[in-house]
Amino acid sequence: MKLVTFLLVPVTYLMAANSFPETHKEPVIETIHGVKITDNYRWLEDQESPRTREWVKSQMGYTKSFLDAVPGRARVEKRLGELMRVDSIGVPHEAGGRYFYSRRPKDSSQPMLCLRQGLNGAEEVLVDGNKLGKGKSASLFEVSNDGKMIAFGIRQGGEDEVHLKLMNVDTRRQLEDDLPRARYYGIVFAEDHKGYYYATMLKEGPRVYYRAIGDTTAKLIFGERYGNQYGIGMRQDDTGRYILFSVWLGSSGDHTEVYLLDTKKGGPVRVVVDDLPNKFSAAIGGDEIFFETNWKAPKGRVMAAKLSNLDRSKWREVIPEGQWPLENMHLVGGNISVTYLENVVSKIRVYSTAGKMLREVTQPGIGTANGLFGRWGSNEAFYQYQSVSTPPLIQRYQVTDGATKLWAKMDVPFNADQMEVKQVWYSSKDGTKIPMFLTYKKGLQLDGNNPVFLTAYGGFNISMTPTFSATAAYWAENGGVFAVPSLRGGGEFGEAWHKAGTKEKKQNVFDDFIAAAEYLIANKYTRPEKLAISGGSNGGLLVGAVELQRPDLYGAVLCNIPLLDMVRYHMFKIARFWVPEYGSSEEPDQFQFIRKYSPYHNVKGGVKYPATMFISGDSDTRVDPLHARKMAALMQSLSGQVKPMLLHYDTEGGHSGGLPIEKVISNAADNFLFVESQLGIAH
């Protein structure tokens, strides 16, 4: 039972010792499951109200004036520009002898969607993201099996939603058929090119439709029984005849249903699996469906079912569960490519459909590879590799003999030879061993005086593997230590590792992160005054929580696109997806453990909190920016708070990227200027 009281009180204006912008209180008192909670800044949840817009404007001005006063912007932006403004290229998708990929030349603001006719053909630009208009970007959604049609999305700022458009690749002309701005999970073309299937999210839930080319109406195909806590993805086989629908509950993918549509025979959609609370990622190869699943295998295995007989008793195990977690599966060249994580390092292995291991794909070093991408009937595949010290490169792989050749790489002006990269292990509060990657210049002195940038995620079965970032490169080459621990809640060691950081066990994630900071301090890498922490999205919740639980450990906090009001998070945008991960305050028992760590509900007066910059923007249509707005107001209201509490708010910023490279560089510079000013770093 929840009682809500809107108190009509005189407006109270607050001015902290740090001369923060004025924010008035309008207390809303709720009694939730017998607990009284006061929210002074509920009014800031209304993003479009004139009061909120005026408040945001004042916060943006205050933050800008603060950052403008920090010396060194030209130096920081110059180096970040050198690291970020480089030719970048995505993994190609081959279809019909055509190679489709995205590329952003170093002198461009936005990526372009490109085509090569043949592997060594001249590059053609199909869609130039630099010519779409202010704040817009393009991304490739789907290519038809014969390479004659593509679907691409136009995104405004960092929104998740896109405007879907279709193109006839033969004529290079866009079709009049397009789909309005919405959240789309996928699109596939009918084999005869007379129409297309697409999955989208409506207010009531996800739905799959078929629409004929040139028609303005769409036919509902699948999904009518699912509510808005579900999502639906699609995958087509190489023949175009079969389409797999994957239905997932929540964002972790740990409860999936699979259905099969035979577009040639027609008839009802067939159930493949709908009654097991496990992960199933399915693809069709020949006359079988192959599943990557954790059903009766917490670290994952591969199973197969005949298209002609989906009875579960006839399924066969192809690749059994092993010592290490199975991260992904792809079907290429009549074989199965599987990526494992061995102590958080990628290993790609190729198996026959009978389950025989054919070979391991040789990697250039200890890093992250994203699996082989190709087609069931083709001998050719591609994969991307990167490490902390190696910028992304794309390899072309021959499935039959394992021959590998470099297809493209990013030339980043970065001297990897001067860097030390190592993995250490430390004990969390309950004794669990946690791995952490450290990057720094060779010859680092362990004297407790090094600035450390500590970042992590810890959720949704997402693994924090060793990857290259301009952030890490900049920090390390300037004498800092860049630290990335693999916290529980992620997928680094299988489903048990993930579940150990969800719902009532979420505190394990915070304990793991706190223990990482304590390890770095105890082992003389740094001291609290020199330790900055950063996290985004679920990682924003992480740093928001640990900042309140152990404010003595950190000198600066970057809290990016965060979840912070966990009592109300599930009420906004697509957050119903995350209830399987966090729980919901609507349930009395779950409310109790959520309230204990919810950052917005655990701020205490009289505590010396570290300097913090909350980062969000209007175009975040995934995690509502209200979290950052409310938390910034609350932290600024604390009496005696002398450290900076800033709101970095970008009206075009969001969860899905899309910002021009100039803005990306500028925002990254803002982050470093804030952190360096608070850690006392001078160059």
89 and 408 Cβ atoms separated by less than 8 Å: yes
Q: Could you tell me the two tokens for 573?
A: 């945008």
CB 641 within 8 A of CB 605: no
Q: Which of 81, 82, 73, 139 is nearest to 110 (CA)?
A: 139
Distance of CA 647 to the CA centre of its chain: 22
For residue 482, what are its two tokens?
């860049």
CB atoms within 10 A of CB 119: 12
| Nearest-angstrom CA–CA distance, 193 and 187 | 13
Nearest Cα residue to 328 out of 364, 282, 362: 282
Amino acid sitting at position 519: Y
| Catalytic site includes residue 655 | yes
Measure the CA–CA gap between 537 and 456, rounded to whole angstroms: 11
- Under DSSP, the state recorded for 90 is P
Q: Among 218, 265, 226, 219, which Cα is nearest to 245's?
A: 226
Q: Is 537 a catalytic residue?
A: yes
- Residue 162 corresponds to which tokens in the numbers above? 């896109």
Annotated catalytic residue, options 537, 585, 619, 637: 537
Enter the tokens of residue 411. 């030339």
SS3 167: strand
DSSP 578: G
Do residues 261 and 222 touch, judged by C-beta distance below 8 A? yes
Minimal CA–CA distance to 95: which of 42, 150, 30, 36? 150
Q: What angle do CA 69, 75, 77 make, to 5 degrees?
A: 90
Instruction: State the distance between the two ends of the chain, measured CA to CA, in whole angstroms.
Output: 57
**What tokens does 378 get?**
């083709």
Quote the CA–CA distance of 207 and 220 in Å, as a whole number.
7
Structure token digits, residue 16: 């902290």
**How far apart are the C-alpha atoms of 625 and 603, rounded to whole Å?**
19
Take residue 417 and report the two structure tokens written for it.
């030879």
Q: Choosing from 281, 584, 655, 656, which is the catalytic residue?
A: 655
Q: How many CB atoms lie within 10 A of CB 316?
A: 13
Gyration radius from the chain CA atoms: 25
Residue with tokens 């003389």: 524
CA dist., res. 181 & res. 520, Å (int): 46
CB 488 within 8 A of CB 521: no
Place of tokens 């958080």: 344
For tokens 């006359």, the residue is 287
Neighbour count for residue 551 (Cβ, 10 Å): 17
Question: Where do we find the tokens 């390899």?
Answer: 395
Q: Burial code of 156-184, b = ≥16 C-beta within 10 A, e = fewer?
A: bbbbbbbbbbbbebeeeeeeebebeeebb
Q: In the 8-state DSSP scheme, what is residue 569?
A: G
What is the distance of C-alpha 335 from the center of its chain?
29
Q: Which of 317, 337, 318, 409 lies closest to 378 in space, CA to CA?
A: 337
**Residue found by looking up tokens 């290429």 in the block:** 332
DSSP state of 488: B
Q: Which residue has the tokens 């279709």?
A: 166
Q: What type of residue sits at position 614?
A: F
What is the helix (H) or strand (E) element at residue 581, kind and residue range? Answer: helix 579-582
Hey, which residues are catalytic here?
Answer: 537, 655
